[in-house]
Amino acid sequence: MDTEPEVQERIKQWTEHCIAFIEAGGKGEVGKMISSANRKIIEAEVGECCPTCDTHMTPTTKRGRQPKKGESPDPTSITVEHVVSRTLGGNNKLDNLVAMCHQCNMYRNATMTKLIPSYAQMHGRQLTEVERDKVSRFIEWSIRTIRTPSTKIDAECAELFAAFIAKAKSKTTAGKKQTHVGMKNPVANNSSEPMPNRSDMRQMLEVLKEIRDTQKAILELMVRPRKQRLRSWFRGIFGKKKGRNSAKVKLPEHHEKKKKAVKKKKTPSSEIKTEKIMPVPEDFEDTIRNILEGREPMKLAVFGHELKIYQEMNQWGHTGTEAFLVMHGFNKKYGLKKAILSKMPDEIMIEGVAPRQTISLKMKEEESVHEETVQEEIVQEPALQDQPEEPLIELNLQSFQAACIAVINEPMSPATFALRLGAHASVLCLSEISAKEFAHQCGIAKSWSLLKSLRTHLSDRVVVDGIGTAATIAPIDSA
């Protein structure tokens, strides 16, 4: 038994919790099973006295199966009762469980129904002062009758509970008297005269009706909402059409066909066949090259957006990454990055760690040599006309690398690097020249940015951190 201060603290906490639970419309642990460990601890008290009456509790033999027709549970059988009812916010924890005879268990529920007839309709709304008072009184009565029986228990709840117990005892006594009279005078049992214990029968019927109403109210709280039941009903109907419940189909031929269809959906190749075949405006590789041509490295997410813009500009019938993959024979869930690497491993360069990976075109050696020779032929004639003096050195890829190493002596921005490289190149070429033009004359493709040139040709000497104008260029020694 708890002390009076402990009981008062329990009552205060449970009252606040239960009122908040009812007004919030909570379901709590209604309908959940009590754990087997807690049930074993409670049922170990077989043979002890019930905490609310003098009955010695007996083992229960009907738990776990449906009662047969005409069968009623033993009033003295042990049950696991909740000190605070779950419909009011109680739980299945051991501290809220107590061993009780079946009869007292039923009559505690009946007392709640009698005291608070509308408790099932109170959930999800603001309680009135009268309802709050009744709920708090019943919770206090429920706790005090278990934790510390005393004269402080609620009088109305105690009278209701005692009335139920008295009716049950009178019913038992009447049954015994009737049996005794029948055995003493069996002829009287067959007579058409009214039974002497009809009032007791009426009382018993009233008790049974109250118990029935209590059970109905509890079941209403345990039943799933109407929306959920409708959703399950629709799933059951349409699930049969999709082959989910193919075992219930009477015709075995249709059953086999549905099974085969489900297996086919599992393979990626069959999923591609089921996709609608779309016309291909241009080759996979050409699309990727056209988007990346002449651009700095971009994030993969940005690349997907640029792909959609490219499709819309060229008036493709279907736009988006998934449509692009399906056009070229991939599953729409295959992934754009994976598809690009499988198609163009030697042309595409993906750097960094997700989600900041960047994608760009690689520069092939053959293309760079070819561009270098072509550019030399194009530049030679205007260079001879505009420049009376020849450059101090022959411009090639090594010239670009040496010039970059000479100007990158500390961390700097791309703009600063371009200015310094242009000034250095003007001295070497004996004429004013920009950094981009200098890189082009050294054999680097005109479409390449300076940052891309540094990443490709000076990755062992220079560190480029970031993208675009926000990047930082620094020598590896200082980094």
CA distance 422 to 435: 4
pLDDT at 176 over 60: no
Rounded CA gap, 273 and 252, in Å? 27
Q: Do 120 and 216 belong together in one domain?
A: yes
- Domain contains 187: no
Asked if residue 38 belongs to a domain, the reply is: yes
Partners of 358 in beta bridges? 299, 351
**Residue 478 and residue 475: Cα distance in Å, rounded?**
6
Q: Answer yes or no: do 33 and 176 share one domain.
A: yes
CA–CA gap between residue 325 and residue 162 (Å, rounded): 77
Same domain, 148 and 40: yes
Domain boundary among 317, 339, 361: 361
Tokens read off for 179: 């049996």
Q: Assess whether pLDDT exceeds 70 at residue 397.
A: yes
Q: Within 10 Å of residue 125's Cβ, how many Cβ atoms?
A: 12
Residue 266: pLDDT band by 50, 70, 90 thresholds? Answer: very low
Q: Is the pLDDT of residue 69 over 50?
A: yes
| 243, part of any domain | yes
Domain containing residue 305: CATH number: 3.30.420
User: What pLDDT shows up at residue 251?
Assistant: 45
Task: Please indicate, yes or no, whether residues 27 and 168 belong to a single structural domain of this protein.
Answer: yes
Are residues 373 and 349 part of one domain? no
Across residues 22-39, what is the average pLDDT?
Answer: 82
CA distance 397 to 381: 21
Residues 89 and 214 in one domain: yes
Q: DSSP code of 250?
A: S
Q: What would the pLDDT profile of 129-170 be if each residue is shown by its tens digit?
A: 988 898 899 888 888 888 876 556 777 777 777 787 777 777
- Average pLDDT over the chain, rounded to an integer: 77
Contacts (Cβ under 8 Å, ≥6 apart) of 103: 53, 55, 75, 76, 165, 168
Domains identified in the chain, total number: 4
Upstream peptide bond of 59 is cis (omega within 30 degrees of 0): no
**Are 97 and 166 contained in the same domain?**
yes
Expressed as residue numbers, the domain containing 387 is 365-475
Query: Do 307 and 292 lie in a common domain?
Result: yes
Model confidence at 242: pLDDT above 60:
no
81-100 pLDDT tens trace: 899 988 888 898 988 899 99
For residue 473, what pLDDT is reported? 92
Last residue of a domain, one of 299, 330, 361: 361
> Mean pLDDT over residues 308-316, rounded?
87
CA-CA distance, 33 to 58, in Å (whole number)? 22
Beta pairing, strands 97-101 & 78-82: antiparallel
The percent of residues in the chain predicted with pLDDT above 70, rounded, is 74
Residue 162 is assigned to a structural domain of this protein: yes
Question: What is the rounded distance in angstroms from the CA atom of residue 277 to the CA atom of residue 441?
Answer: 47
Q: Is 140 domain-assigned?
A: yes
Residue in this structure with the two tokens 């002390």, named with its chain if needed: 3
Task: Indicate if 139 and 30 belong to the same structural domain.
Answer: yes
Kindly give the interhelix angle for 397-407 and 414-429, rounded to the nearest 10 degrees: 120
Give a yes or no: residue 190 inside a domain.
no
Q: How would you classify residue 256: left for phi > 0, otherwise alpha for psi between -120 and 50, otherwise beta?
A: alpha
Q: What is the pTM of this model?
A: 0.38
List the structure tokens of 223. 């039943």
In a domain, 304, yes or no: yes
> Which range is most confident: 16-20, 65-69, 194-198, 232-236?
16-20
Same domain? 51 vs 141: yes
> In this predicted model, which residue has the larger pLDDT, 37 or 219?
37
Asked whether residue 131 falls in the same domain as residue 255, the answer is no
Q: Are residues 13 and 73 in the same domain?
A: yes
